[in-house]
Structures are given as structure tokens and as C-alpha cells.
Amino acid sequence: MIVFLDRDGTINVERHHLASVEGMELLPGAAEGIRMLNQLGCPVVIVSNQTVVGRGDCSLETLAAINQRMIDLLANEGATVDGIYSCPHLPGDACACRKPKTGLIEEAKRVFGNAGGLRRRFLVGDKCSDIQAGRAVGAITFLVRTGHGLNTEQTGDCKPHYVVDDLRTAAEQICSIIQRNSHVSPSTGTKTPG
């Protein structure tokens, strides 16, 4: 199992192209949600479009510093992410990584492929491109209403499996799905589908 998370508007406050370390601020409940996912024992991986790099608003070094600030803020609340994969390209560039393309997700799957199997996948994000990328790799998708999520929901242009208020609520739902589908039979001690 693996959980993919968008970054801006899902984990941290949407700043419209965050380009400075000072602008990194976690959304309420985001660290708690990631901490809940950590307790499932599966990789939690960020997959994020970062056009700020392609536009020249931010260097790769500054992007790394912004991500490190996020990691530090999460760590202060007992939460961790296992990997961060970013697309630095512009929408018009012919790359394979910019969501809704699946290059970032495929790269993460290669890295974490031995972490207990990746047949069950979840993706949480606030944009249609997140949901489309998740669906393309067979993930159960969650649209959060934070960031651009409320507008995304109102347009009705994408079809997530679930629409939830925030990352913490998405994590609660993921935990519930896992528990429902991992029942242990009292007579045999084997896992049975829920």
C-alpha cells in the first residue's frame, strides 16, 4: 500500500506559486492526518507540480529548502513523509511528470516497490490534475476542499472517489477503508476481504 499526497493546498496553505521558505505554513490537521497515515506503516509520498521552478520564480535549491521547512514543521508534530517528487516544468513543456501525467507516481512506485507491495494505492489532492493522475494509476482518489479543492468540486469536472474537507478527514477515511478490507477471521486468523 502507498499513499500519494499533493503538497500545495493539501498539506500546506495555498500561496499561489509558493516561492519562499517563509510562505510554508501547514494547513490545520495536515500533520495529524499524515501522522495517522504513518501509523498504517505504508509509504507516504508527496507528488507535486512546481511550475515556480520552470517560471524562474524559485530555484531547485529554494524548492528543496521549502520542502525541508515542510518536513521540519511536520516533524514538530510527529509526522513524516517518505519521499517528495516534484515536476519543475511548465504546463506547455513536453514532460512525462507533470500531473495529470503519471511520471512522478511511477517514479515513486519504482522506489517504494518493495515496501510491502503497492497494489493498493490512495491519492489525496485539491485539483483535477491530482485526481486524474490518481485514477490513471488505479488509486482511490480523495479531493480535499482546502486549497483549490472547493472550486474544483464546484466545477464538477473531475470524478474523485471521495470528497472530504481536509487531509485529516481523508486519512480517517483511508484508515477506515484499510480496516474494512483487512478483517481477521477469528477461527483461522487469516485476513479476509471486508
Name the catalytic one among 6, 126, 130, 166: 6
- Does 187 reside within a domain? no
Q: Cα–Cα distances in Å, from 167 out to 18, 143, 179, 186?
A: 19, 9, 18, 33
For 88, the domain range is 2-8+19-181
pTM exceeding 0.85: yes
Provide the domain count of the chain.
1
- Does 128 reside within a domain? yes
CATH code, 62: 3.40.50.1000
pLDDT score of 181: 79
- Does 171 reside within a domain? yes
pLDDT score of 164: 98
**What confidence tens digit (pLDDT) does each residue in 55-73 have?**
889 999 999 999 999 999 9
- Does 14 reside within a domain? no
| 100 prior amide bond cis, ω within 30 | yes
Burial of 131 from C-beta contacts in 10 A (0-12 / 13-18 / 19+): buried
- Does 123 reside within a domain? yes
Give the DSSP H or E segment for 151.
Answer: helix 149-155
pLDDT < 70 positions in the chain: 114-119, 182-194
pLDDT score of 127: 97
Residue type, 63: L
Closest by Cα among 141, 104, 99 to 120: 141
- Does 189 reside within a domain? no
Name the catalytic one among 8, 126, 130, 166: 8
What angle do helix axes 128-136 and 103-111 make, rounded to 10 degrees? 50
Is 8 a known active-site residue?
yes
Helix (H, G, I), strand (E, B) or coil at 169: helix
- Does 76 reside within a domain? yes
- Does 190 reside within a domain? no
pLDDT score of 190: 33
Is 166 a known active-site residue?
no
